[in-house]
């Protein structure tokens, strides 16, 4: 799991509903255990729209949808 520590003000992840402190579990079906997993998942879904993101927040798993710019 990777924690979101900071989000840029104009980032599309804000529109998706991500918040600082969320734990990233999956992006586009790829489980995240390390920063390398995150970069691999992002590379794999660059042309994919929308992107499904699973997070852990407030003792529950949530699924969000990211619409890339």
Q: Cα separation of 15 and 30, whole Å?
A: 21
What's the pLDDT at 67? 82
Strands 51-57 and 2-3: unpaired
Quick one: pLDDT band at residue 22, thresholds 50, 70, 90?
very high
What's the pLDDT at 69? 64
Q: Compare 30 and 46 and report the one with higher pLDDT.
A: 30
Mean pLDDT, residues 33-48 taken together? 84
The pTM assigned to this predicted structure is 0.85
């Amino acid at each position: 799991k990777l924690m979101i520590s900071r989000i840029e003000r104009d980032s599309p992840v804000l529109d998706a509903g991500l918040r600082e402190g969320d734990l990233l579990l999956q992006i586009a079906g790829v489980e995240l255990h390390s920063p390398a997993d995150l970069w691999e998942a992002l590379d794999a879904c660059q042309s994919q729209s929308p992107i499904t993101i699973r997070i852990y927040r407030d003792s529950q798993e949530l699924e969000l949808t990211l619409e890339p710019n």
